[in-house]
Structure 1
């Protein structure tokens, strides 16, 4: 099996979510229509936004029960990303904090999908 390289998020409004991720990620989608948009992130990972009304089989899941995760090189980078997202009016669910695995914060997109940013501690508890 090939490694995973793509995540799809089911969204209410592709246009609204596309604008959100353009601002959040400072990049343009490589594909965008009224029902789907795709971003290619550094390293080649793909983020797809799919209008939830067209998903087959239909999804019965709730948003907010999983997380899309970005790793940072340092604790300072975690704090800098938080500050950047705060200035972009991103909804912050958890302010930067140090947990047993390292420095982290959690945000949410317009549909309530959780986005975690973290740096693993050198010596996690």
Structure 2
């Protein structure tokens, strides 16, 4: 079985993305180089940000297009997270709604990567 260490998001502006994730997830980013930042905001995986103009091996994939799914324990935690992020001015692609897998909402980072927060309760 494999273990996932991190997910790498290609970003246009490393500093704008670093600030977004640091503020939204209230974590301290680790600047590994001027074009590479790591964020440990989950207990078992990190998100790393890589400046797309500095990729080695270059990529034709444009920025955005990734979705991070983040579960929360219950509806009250879900509602609190939504209100907290709304007060911070986070951009929402989807307001809270109930679906077949529970309640969820979707935010967008500066490059259009989606961050979905959900709860089954």
TM-score norm. by structure 2 comes to 0.90
What is the aligned residue count? Answer: 121
Tell whether the 8 Å contact from 1:78 to 1:96 is kept in structure 2 after alignment: no
Per the alignment, residue 11 of structure 2 pairs with: 11
Q: Which residue of 1 aligns with 2:93?
A: 93
- Give distance in 2, aligned partners of 1:81 and 1:105: 10
1:1-125 correspondence runs (5 A): 1-121=1-121
SS at match of 2:69: strand
C-alpha displacement of 1:32: 4.3
Q: What RMSD, in angstroms, separates the aligned Cα atoms of the two structures?
A: 1.6
Contact 2:12 2:63 in 1 (8 A): no
The answer for unaligned runs of 5 or more in structure 2 is: none
The CA distance in 1 between the partners of 2:52 and 2:18, in whole Å, is 14
CA contact (8 A) 1:67 1:114 kept: yes
**Alpha-carbon distance, 1:30 to partner:** 2.6
Change (3 A) 1:62 1:120: farther
User: Which region of structure 1 is more displaced relative to structure 2, 19-28 or 54-63?
Assistant: 54-63
Moved more, 88-97 or 50-59: 50-59
Decide whether aligned partners of structure 1 residues 53 and 64 sit closer, same or farther in structure 2, where only a CA change above 3 A counts.
closer
Residues 18-42 of structure 1 deviation map (CA, whole Å, 9 limit, x = unaligned): 1111100111113343201101123
Is this contact kept in 1: 2:11–2:64, CA < 8 A? no
Q: 1:40 to 1:26 in 2, by over 3 A?
A: same
Structure 1: stretches of 5+ with no match in the other structure: none
